[in-house]
Each structure stands twice: as structure tokens, then as C-alpha cells.
């Protein structure tokens, strides 16, 4: 029993994480429901096999780990996690630590932390896909700090590195890590959606071919938009289908899948009354993308477009500016939601640290996140839109976002995320809004009362009886 840590679940992410742990010099014992998977994993581990102990039963796994034990679960989120904990706990000592590293709903993590009682339990969000899990993910931890500290040396060693800082951070109690991961995924959805929307303008409005679109993304990846998602979007646009030689994007069906983390973010935002319209629009856009038959029927009935934009309607630079503005607004919303949750749940979530932990390893890593970390460190309670660096960028770019949204509207191109980003921006720079009408209506039909501009709550209007 000398492995420093154990891992259960050798699917894509679990296997990659186990190899990463071994690669960083830690002995690890592994177990998978199907023994053949464990065996194949060990056989394929090459020189890392020496650091990996394959086990055939949970008892063997537990026996192979040094006390006090730490065991990572990398099984599908949901019931499988509860089943695994129920099977494992009776075999463990009271001070052994279970770490759920899957994409759990943070409400489940809150519950599991409570159910664990005094027995150590952590919920950690892991981002970066298979490549990240193997060579350096971004890790967002939740649970008791003392339990995090027990495994922090392993988690920081395997995490992505940003200029000498490990992208592995304890976020707070219970489900705090999984909550931050969920918001990460919500932002991921909006970032992806906004990129897809600019692709739509290039393809349908400007009539650009995939080679040109790929080159534009590649060029943007050298500027303010530099990010993993822009980089891979260029690569996706450049790829051709080996079977037909057609551009890959012409071969892929336009209906987006989702496992639910972005949706959880949108649902939670509603509970918190946190405005994240660009993220919600991105979830809606995925839902809508699946309604292919209805979309096709709509095109038959109403026609589509008119898409083609006359030459010079929009420059590529204008499109880039719109995406820069949209991205800032999306992150302002995401961080605003985190701040709201932090207050509501009593978590003291460290906003600058969250921006830092997202700078490398995760799917939304980007150059801009470094500036966001600086801005949030300077003013942790402020809205990102008001931070000097981002306020300057927004002042420069919101006109371009407006042009893009306006031209897309005139040419029948749907931009759900970019347009809701713009609406958010305009609403958030309007001191006198229109909710006075809502309050008047509410008081008219339900005597709900309103506050008067000259003072006092609970007033009623002269609506008559």
C-alpha cells in the first residue's frame, strides 16, 4: 500500500488524468468497473506503467493506497457518483478523502459534502478536455480547505502552468469549485456561440469561403482575441473531410450537443437573479439548433435572408471589434454572476483568482483573461465593464458591435449572443430605464405598489376603481 493517490474511472478523462499524475512522479492505483479497461490502460501506459498499480476490485484499490488515502472519482456526473461513493465509503477509514473530479452539478456537490459530514470530501472542476487532463488542466477546487491542502501538491503539479503559477485553486466550501466550473462552461458556451455567429456573417453575409474564414481566425488569434477557442475555430474551418474533400464545416450537421453544464449556469443565474443574457442566449441557441425540421419548414415558409451583404458593408476589422466587445460583455456577465453567488452562498469566491486559474489549461483560456485578472484584483467588487482597461476597449468597440448587430438584423442573420450582449451593454449604460412602466402596470392590475422618484416605497397610482 504505497500509491500516493487512487483513481476510479478510466474513461477518456480519468485515463488522461491518471497518466498525468504518474507523469508528474506520483504513484497511483487505478480501478475501473470493467477490469479489461484497467488492464488495457496499464498495458498502454508505456514507461509510466511502473508508477501505476492496476487493481481488479475496490478492496484491492483501497489496499494499494497509502494512508490517509485520497481517491479521485472520474465517473459520469449524476447517480454514478453517488453509487460509487456508497460502494467506496464503507471500505475507507474516516479520514480518507474522496475527490469528485467529474462535471458535477454544484448542488449535488453541496449535498454530498453535507452527507460526508466529518469524512473528507472535495468536489473539483477540471477543465481542458482530454489534452488538458493529460498535460495540464485548470482545476477549481471546492470543499474544506484542510482537505484541499492534503492533495494540493499533486493537483498543482498536474495542473497547467501560467508563467510559473499553477492553474489549480481552492475556491471555497462545498460545491464552490463545481459552481465556478459551471460558470466557466456557461462562458465557454457564449464564447463559442459568438465565434460561431461571426463565422455565420463571414459565410452567409460576406460570402467568404472556408479557407478565407480560417485565415481570418488565424489572424485574430494573434491579436486581442488570442484564445484557444479562436485558435481551434480556425483549425476547424481549415480542415477538409478525408472522405469527400469538402470543407469539414460543410459536412458537420448544424445541431449542437450539450451535456448540461451551460444550462445549469443559466438556470442558476435565474435563481440568483443574476443577468447573464449572452450566456443564456448561447444555451438557447444550442436548444434552437436542434430544431432542424422546424428551421427548415420556416425557411420554406418565410424564405431566409436576404443574407448577401453588399461589398464593404462590414469590414473584417469591424467584425473583430464586435467580437472583442461581445467577449468582454460575456465575461462581465459571468463574473457578475459569480460575485452574486458568492454573496448569496457565503462563499467569498476569489474573483481575481478565478480569472487567473482560467488563464491556462481550460477551454476558455485567452490572453484577455490575464488582463481580467489584473482588473479584478484592482477592484474585486466592480463590474468588469467599468475596469479602466475594459471600459476603454468597450468605448472603442461598441460601435462596431452595434454595426455588426444592425447589419445582421437587416440581412436576416441571427446573432443571439452578440445582440444580447449589445442589449446588455446599452441597458447597463442607461440610468433611466423603462421598468417604471412595469411597476405602473403591476400596480394597476395588482396593487403591488411602487417606489416614487421623490421618495418612499409602497405608493399606489390614481388608476381609479
14 is in an annotated binding site: yes
Measured from the Cβ of residue 134, the count of other Cβ atoms closer than 10 Å reads: 19
Residue in the shown chain whose Cβ atom is closest to ligand 6PG = 127
185 annotated as ligand-binding: yes
Angle at 339 between CA 333 and CA 343, to 5 degrees: 145
Strand-strand pairing, 165-166 and 138-143: unpaired
* One residue of 96, 174, 188, 371 binding ligand 6PG per CB under 6 A: 188
Residue 205 is assigned to a ligand binding site: no
Q: Is 117 annotated as a binding residue?
A: no
259 binds ligand 6PG (CB under 6 A): yes
x/- letters, 77..106, toward ligand 6PG (CB under 6 A): --------------------------x---
Does the annotation flag 298 for ligand binding? no
419 makes contact with ligand 6PG (CB under 6 A)? no
* Nine cell digits for residue 23: 507523469
Separation of alpha carbons 35 and 41, rounded Å: 10
Question: Which entry of 83, 131, 174, 181 is annotated as an active-site residue?
Answer: 181
> What are the C-alpha distances in Å from 325 to residues 51, 183, 190, 368?
48, 19, 13, 12
Q: Is 10 annotated as a binding residue?
A: yes
Listing DSSP states for 174-210 in one string gives TTHHHHHHHHHHHHHHHHHHHHHHHHHIIIIIS---H
Distance CA 315, CA 458 (A): 52
Asked if 233 interacts with ligand 6PG (CB under 6 A), we say: no
Question: Pick from 20, 84, 185, 193: which binds ligand 6PG (CB under 6 A)?
Answer: 185
Q: State the nearest-atom distance from the C-beta of 262 to ligand 6PG, in Å.
A: 6
The region of 110-118, 122-130, 205-213, 399-407 touching ligand 6PG under the rule CB under 6 A is: 122-130
Of the residues 20, 32, 127, 342, which one makes contact with ligand 6PG according to CB under 6 A:
127
How do strand 168-172 and strand 165-166 relate by DSSP bridges? unpaired
Minimum CB separation of residue 108 from ligand 6PG in Å reads: 15
State the minimum distance, in angstroms, from the CB of residue 137 to ligand 6PG: 7
For residues 304 to 343, the per-residue mask of contacts with ligand 6PG, x marking binding by CB under 6 A and - elsewhere, is ----------------------------------------
Residue 333's Cβ-side half-sphere holds a number of Cα atoms within 13 Å equal to 36
Give per-residue burial for 214-238: e unless 16+ CB within 10 Å, then b: bebbbebbeebbebbbbbebbebbb
CA distance 195 to 217: 9
164 a known binding residue? Answer: no
Q: How far is the CB of 75 from ligand 6PG (least distance, A)?
A: 14
Grid cell at residue 213: 474564414
**Least distance between ligand 6PG and beta carbon 123 (Å):** 14
Say if residue 11 carries a ligand binding annotation. yes
Out of 46, 90, 117, 257, point to the residue binding ligand 6PG (CB under 6 A).
Answer: 257
Of 128, 175, 275, 350, the one binding ligand 6PG by CB under 6 A: 128
Per-residue CA distances from 91 to 52, 69, 148, 281, 298 (Å)? 21, 11, 21, 46, 58
Q: Which is nearer to ligand 6PG, 181 or 411 (CB)?
A: 181
- Going by C-alpha positions, the residue among 176, 184, 136 that lies closest to residue 350 is 176
Contacts of 148-152 spanning 24+ positions with Cβ under 8 A: 148/122, 150/68, 150/70, 150/97, 150/120, 151/5, 151/70, 151/97, 151/99, 151/122
DSSP state for residue 366 in the 8-state scheme: B
| 128 is known to lie in a ligand binding site | yes
Q: Is 127 annotated as a binding residue?
A: yes
Catalytic (active site) residue 188: yes
Residue 280 is among the residues annotated as catalytic for this protein: no
Contacts of 457 (CB under 8 A, 6+ apart): 449, 451
Q: Does 429 bind ligand 6PG (CB under 6 A)?
A: no
Q: Where are the beta strands (DSSP E) in 33-78?
A: 52-54, 70-73
Q: Which three cell numbers stand for residue 432?
A: 433611466
- Stretch of 48-56, 69-77, 123-131, 391-399 lying at the interface with ligand 6PG (CB under 6 A): 123-131
Per-residue binder mask for ligand 6PG (CB under 6 A), 352-381, x = binder: ----------xx------------------
State how far the Cα of 454 lies from the Cα of 290, in Å rounded to an integer: 50
* For ligand 6PG, the closer CB: 7 or 266: 266
Active site residues: 181, 188
Q: Which residues define the annotated binding site for NADP(+)?
A: 9-14, 32-34, 75-77, 103
Binding residues for ligand 6PG, rule: CB under 6 A, are 103, 127-129, 185, 188, 257-259, 261-262, 362-363
Q: Which residues define the annotated binding site?
A: 9-14, 32-34, 75-77, 103, 127-129, 184-185, 189, 259, 286, 442, 448
Amino acid at each position: 500500500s504505497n500509491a500516493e493517490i487512487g483513481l476510479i474511472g478510466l474513461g477518456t478523462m480519468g485515463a488522461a488524468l491518471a497518466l498525468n499524475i504518474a507523469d508528474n512522479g506520483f504513484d497511483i492505483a487505478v480501478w475501473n468497473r470493467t477490469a479489461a479497461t484497467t488492464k488495457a490502460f496499464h498495458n498502454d501506459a508505456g514507461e509510466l506503467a511502473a508508477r501505476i498499480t492496476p487493481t481488479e476490485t475496490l478492496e484491492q484499490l483501497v489496499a494499494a493506497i497509502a494512508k490517509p488515502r485520497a481517491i479521485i472519482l472520474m465517473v459520469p456526473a449524476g447517480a454514478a457518483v453517488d453509487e460509487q461513493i456508497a460502494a467506496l465509503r464503507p471500505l475507507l477509514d474516516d479520514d480518507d478523502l474522496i475527490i469528485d473530479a467529474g462535471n458535477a452539478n454544484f448542488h449535488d456537490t453541496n449535498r454530498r459534502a453535507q452527507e460526508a459530514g466529518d469524512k473528507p470530501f472535495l468536489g473539483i472542476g477540471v477543465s481542458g478536455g482530454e489534452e488538458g487532463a493529460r498535460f495540464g488542466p485548470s482545476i477549481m477546487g471546492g470543499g474544506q480547505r484542510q482537505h484541499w491542502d492534503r492533495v494540493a501538491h499533486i493537483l498543482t503539479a498536474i495542473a497547467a502552468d501560467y508563467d510559473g503559477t499553477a492553474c489549480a485553486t481552492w475556491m471555497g466550501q462545498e460545491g464552490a469549485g463545481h459552481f465556478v466550473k459551471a460558470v466557466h462552461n456557461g462562458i465557454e458556451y457564449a464564447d463559442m456561440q459568438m465565434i460561431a455567429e461571426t463565422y455565420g456573417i463571414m459565410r452567409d453575409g460576406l460570402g467568404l469561403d472556408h479557407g478565407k474564414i480560417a485565415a481570418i481566425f488565424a489572424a485574430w488569434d494573434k491579436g486581442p482575441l488570442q484564445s484557444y477557442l479562436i485558435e481551434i475555430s480556425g483549425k476547424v474551418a481549415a480542415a477538409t473531410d478525408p472522405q469527400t474533400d469538402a470543407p469539414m464545416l460543410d459536412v458537420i450537421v448544424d445541431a449542437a450537443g450539450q451535456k448540461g453544464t451551460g444550462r445549469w449556469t443559466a438556470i442558476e443565474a435565474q435563481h440568483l437573479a443574476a443577468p447573464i443574457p449572452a450566456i443564456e442566449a448561447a444555451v438557447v441557441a444550442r436548444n434552437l439548433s436542434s430544431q432542424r425540421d422546424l428551421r427548415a419548414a420556416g425557411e420554406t415558409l418565410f424564405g431566409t435572408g436576404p443574407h448577401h451583404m453588399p461589398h464593404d458593408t462590414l469590414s473584417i476589422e469591424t467584425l473583430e471589434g464586435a467580437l472583442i466587445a461581445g467577449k468582454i460583455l460575456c465575461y462581465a456577465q459571468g463574473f457578475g454572476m459569480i460575485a452574486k453567488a458568492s454573496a448569496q452562498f457565503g462563499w467569498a469566491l476569489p474573483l481575481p483568482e478565478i480569472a487567473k486559474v482560467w488563464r491556462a489549461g481550460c477551454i476558455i483560456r485567452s490572453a484577455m483573461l490575464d488582463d481580467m485578472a489584473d482588473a479584478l484584483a484592482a477592484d474585486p467588487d466592480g463590474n468588469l465593464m467599468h475596469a479602466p482597461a475594459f471600459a476603454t476597449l468597450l468605448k472603442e468597440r461598441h460601435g462596431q458591435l452595434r454595426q455588426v448587430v444592425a447589419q445582421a438584423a437587416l440581412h436576416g442573420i441571427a446573432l443571439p449572443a452578440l445582440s444580447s450582449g449589445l442589449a446588455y451593454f446599452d441597458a447597463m449604460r442607461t440610468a433611466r430605464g423603462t421598468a417604471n412602466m412595469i411597476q405602473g402596470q403591476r400596480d394597476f392590475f395588482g396593487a403591488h405598489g411602487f417606489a416614487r422618484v421623490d421618495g418612499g416605497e409602497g405608493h399606489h397610482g390614481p388608476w381609479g376603481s
